[in-house]
Structure 1
Amino acid sequence: MPAIKNIEGLTIDQVNQELAKGAKFIMFSYTISIIFLTVRKRSDIYFIKAGESTASYSWKYSLINFLFGWWGIPFGPIFTIGALYTNFTGGKDVTQDVLNQANL
């Protein structure tokens, strides 16, 4: 399981309280392409509190997509558009997966 960021200093009870308020665990996507090689990757997991914007976390992964995602044939543009869509719509919610793994 990838590292979880933004959870440092919080107790399990505090995490559960934030989750009850609507917090989520989110991952972002990025694509790197070089001619005939295209690789899709996911970021670490970010703990996003209720009402907090994901934009401050997703921008760097979207920038990687813009700079390095397009250049693979044929999948670079396809995967890049998918990754940008995921990032611009708030990332992939993996809250249930994290809770299942952590038994919270």
Structure 2
Amino acid sequence: MAGILGIEGLSTAQVQEELQRGGRFVVFEYCVSFFVTTTRRSSDVYFVRAGQGTFGLSLGYTLLSLLLGWWGLPWGFVYTPLVLATNLLGGRDVTEMVVPSLLAPRYDPHLGC
């Protein structure tokens, strides 16, 4: 389960329990512009437990976009509000894309399977 922030130390069963209670996997977006070039990207995947807010997790990406997103013409003015809305509404839910990879059997080179 490496590569997902917020699940360190949790077993697959614990993650599944948390998902059943309303946990989810999300990404946040950010936008950076340099005159005529605008880049819109997603963060790493975060595991958000049931009842946990996302404001603190999205704050850095939101501030980055507020400061550097607007400066590209024309896409900075298009992407920045979209990115801000996504982050302020809790991020983009990617649970349906992440869960199958968590539950898939893993290859163990020591066992040959």
Q: Shorter-chain TM-score: which interval? A: over 0.9
* Per-residue deviation, 1:77: 1.3
User: Which sections of structure 1, spanning at least 5 residues, go unmatched?
Assistant: none
Supply the AA of the counterpart residue of 1:62. T
For residue 51 of structure 2, give the secondary structure of its aligned residue in structure 1. Answer: coil
Residue matched to 1:21: 21
Residue matched to 1:50: 50
Q: Does 1:81 align with 2:81?
A: yes
Residue matched to 2:4: 4
Supply the AA of the counterpart residue of 1:61. Y
Task: Please give the per-residue CA displacement for 1:54-73, whole angstroms capped at 9, x wherever unaligned.
Answer: 00100100000011100000
Name the count of aligned residue pairs: 103
* Sequence identity percentage: 42
Matched residues in 1 for 2:40 and 2:101: separation? Answer: 23
Matched residues in 1 for 2:58 and 2:64: separation? Answer: 10
User: Which sections of structure 2, spanning at least 5 residues, go unmatched?
Assistant: 105-113
Task: Please give the per-residue CA displacement for 1:37-81, whole angstroms capped at 9, x wherever unaligned.
Answer: 000000000000000000010010000001110000000011000
Bigger-Rg structure (1/2)? 2
Supply the AA of the counterpart residue of 2:101. Q
| Counterparts of residues 29-48 of structure 1 (less than 5 Å) | 29-48=29-48
Q: Which contiguous aligned blocks of 4+ residues in structure 1 show a shift greater than 4 angstroms?
A: none
> What is the TM-score of this pair, normalised by structure 1?
0.95
Provide the alpha-carbon RMSD of the alignment: 1.3
For residue 39 of structure 2, give the secondary structure of its aligned residue in structure 1. Answer: strand
Q: Is the contact made by 2:12 and 2:102 (CA closer than 8 Å) also made in structure 1?
A: no
> What is the TM-score of this pair, normalised by structure 2?
0.87
